[in-house]
Amino acid sequence: MLTFALAVFFLLITPGPGVLTTAGVGAGFGRAAGLRFVAGLFVGTNLVAFAVISGLAAIVFSVPEVRAVLVWASAAFFVYLAAKIALSGAKVAFMETASAPGFVGGLLLQFINPKAYAVNNLLFSGYAFWPESLTVEVALKLLIVNAIWIPVHLIWLTAGVTLKRLNLAPGAQRAINVGMALSLLAVVGLAAFSQA
């Protein structure tokens, strides 16, 4: 069970679309808007988990045309987001929009987030630790995942809110933007590689 918890922690703490946009909403719109966004991400990630656990995601992704459309749509969205981040210049601005994405934005992001499917698939199909009962193991895994997921996302939200207040030098701000953009592109690359 400890190995599972460590895997969850390291899979969730690494930059992906969910945590990067959480930091972005915090940096751009503050804590209250960020909490609404995180609430949507939370519901979305649990719906993705249930889709993976139930096999629904496997059925949907077993249709090559549907899988291709979803992969390319999510890749296009994340390339667009990465470009916005990287090209935002010396201003730390993970995402620039007129209004915060809110609960629905967070919910919808998880449905096109390739990392959400990959992480849930890895966690719920591997790391067996309760051979006596699959139901108990899945329930425990859901509890562990959520117990780690919530603070990890709140840490990223706090990082975004704090980053906005730091008033960093332009070069440092550019470096952060490029680093975040490259992280998003790495996630897209990994998703494309896993679909090959």
For residue 55, what pLDDT band results from cuts at 50, 70 and 90? very high
Q: In this predicted structure, what is the pLDDT of residue 138?
A: 94
Torsion of the alpha carbons at 98, 103, 108 and 111, rounded to the nearest 10: 140
pLDDT over 90 at 149, yes or no:
yes
For residue 91, give the 3-state DSSP assignment. Answer: coil
Q: How many separate domains does the chain show?
A: 1
Q: Characterise 55 by phi-psi region: left (phi > 0), alpha (psi -120 to 50), beta (else).
A: left
Query: By the 8 A CB rule, do 49 and 149 touch?
Result: no
**C-alpha closest to that of 93 among 18, 169, 176:** 176
Distances (CA, A) of 127 to 2, 7, 51, 130: 10, 9, 18, 9
Q: What is the mean pLDDT of residues 80-101?
A: 60
Check whether 2 has a pLDDT greater than 90.
no
Residue range of the domain that includes 48: 2-195
Cα three-residue angle 141-146-152, rounded to 5 degrees:
130
Residue 10 sits at φ, ψ, to 5 deg, of -70, -30
Share of the chain above pLDDT 90, in %: 28
Question: Hey, what are 30's tokens?
Answer: 């503050």
Report how far residue 139's alpha carbon sits from residue 59's, in angstroms, rounded to the nearest whole number: 22
Rounded CA gap, 193 and 196, in Å? 5
| pLDDT score, position 178 | 77
For residue 88, the 8-state DSSP code is T
The pTM assigned to this predicted structure is 0.77
**Average confidence (pLDDT) over 172-189:** 72
**Averaged pLDDT, 77-92:** 64
List, for residues 163-178, the tens digit of each pLDDT value: 877 877 778 777 876 7
